[in-house]
A and B are shown apart, each in its own frame.
Chain A
Amino acid sequence: DAKTTQPNSMESNEEEPVHLPCNHSTISGTDYIHWYRQLPSQGPEYVIHGLTSNVNNRMASLAIAEDRKSSTLILHRATLRDAAVYYCILNTGTASKLTFGTGTRLQVTL
């Protein structure tokens, strides 16, 4: 599995935008970039995914570099409920396992 690298932790103030980076320099052409998050005491939760183009949904935006070697998850207005571990995962798009790395622990403060 191609490897991803994320900062261990980040902090944000509530209602400010948050940019969570992910490096994946060995990504292959068929790898989708998936983001999941895990809130305390809950199962992981799908956030967003993309292949080449930037993507938006109700939860977040995903900005993908032109060479696809990095991506950024953007939370437009962080709330206290967004405090979680965010995982950037490469996936082939078929029914295959998710390989969780260490993720980024996001702390949101008032």
Chain B
Amino acid sequence: AAGVIQSPRHLIKEKRETATLKCYPIPRHDTVYWYQQGPGQDPQFLISFYEKMQSDKGSIPDRFSAQQFSDYHSELNMSSLELGDSALYFCASSFWGAKNIQYFGAGTRLSVL
């Protein structure tokens, strides 16, 4: 079965650079979520989209923005990268009527040097 696809899997950036992470949800899923997991930490919710509209927002820095496109894929844009942004970024998708069961991608490991 198709799963959530994230790209790239690994990304290395310098401080103050920008990064774009992409997420392709499971077909027919209408909701996308982004989570950040720092080293040795638990995943923390960043932002979510339902039917291309932002549905919820967590502890997402102002330097980050995200959107969901007409084909339901989502992109997380990160600017002015800081060392503390080094983390695993997970995307998850769900179908609105499915009791919020979320399916996660394999993640993008971002390293900021």
Contact = CB atoms under 8 A, between A and B. Distances in A.
Interface residues of B, number: 26
A87 B44 CA distance: 13
Interface stretch (A12-20, A62-70, A71-79, A92-100): A92-100
Interface of A: 32, 34, 38, 42-46, 49, 85, 87, 91-103
Contacts of A97: 33, 45, 48, 56, 58
Nearest to A46: B101
19 contacts: A32-B99, A34-B100, A43-B90, A43-B92, A43-B105, A43-B107, A44-B90, A44-B104, A46-B101, A46-B103, A49-B101, A95-B100, A96-B56, A96-B100, A97-B33, A97-B45, A98-B45, A100-B43, A100-B44
Q: Which of A43, A91, A94, A103 has the most chain B CB atoms inside 10 A of its CB?
A: A43
Interface of B: 4, 31, 33, 35, 42-45, 48, 50, 55-56, 58, 90, 92, 94, 96, 99-107
